[in-house]
């Protein structure tokens, strides 16, 4: 199972169900993705907790006028097919209302940050 896909689907389903927060198994990669989503305003807070000896990442979701900020996600790179974007290939998602998340040599960045840093990388997913 793809752990990044699992994380973004849990966040999408939790926000559509009206949950205040969701928990996913902790990893450094998931923590970096959550930090990127926090900077972009898709999640309000992240915290690492330990439950039954296992580390968990608790993500608090954001709602605007009782509507979830995360309504749809699309995984781009999969385990079977990796997709890489050069700096010139990075475009806005949904005319600026969405977010592209990339894994770059400078860490996990949003599409806007990657263009500012002038780096490309593996396109992980889109969220809107």
23-64 per-position pLDDT tens digit: 999 999 999 999 999 999 999 999 999 999 999 999 999 999
From residue 95, give the alpha-carbon distance in Å to each of 34, 91, 125, 128.
Answer: 22, 9, 16, 10
pTM over 0.85: yes
Q: Which of 29, 34, 36, 32 is nearest to 14 (CA)?
A: 34
What does the pLDDT average to over 103-113? 96
* Band of residue 1 on the pLDDT scale cut at 50, 70, 90: confident
The mean predicted confidence, pLDDT, of the chain is 95
Q: Burial letters for 61-97: b for 16+ Cβ neighbours within 10 Å, e otherwise?
A: bbeeeeebbbeebeebbeeeeeeebeeeebeebeeee
Domains and CATH numbers, the chain: 3-127 (3.30.1490.10)
């Amino acid at each position: 199972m793809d752990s990044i896909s699992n994380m973004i689907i849990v966040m999408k389903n939790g926000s559509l169900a009206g949950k205040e927060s969701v928990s996913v198994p902790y990893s450094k990669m998931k923590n970096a993705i959550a930090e990127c989503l926090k900077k972009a305003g898709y999640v309000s807070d992240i915290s690492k907790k330990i439950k039954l000896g296992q580390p968990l990442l608790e993500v608090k979701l954001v709602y605007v006028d009782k509507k979830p900020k995360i309504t749809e996600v699309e995984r781009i790179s999969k385990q079977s097919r990796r997709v890489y974007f050069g700096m010139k290939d990075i475009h806005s998602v949904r005319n600026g209302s969405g977010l592209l998340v990339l894994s770059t040599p400078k860490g996990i960045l949003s599409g806007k940050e990657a263009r500012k840093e002038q780096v490309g990388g593996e396109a992980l997913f889109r969220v809107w």
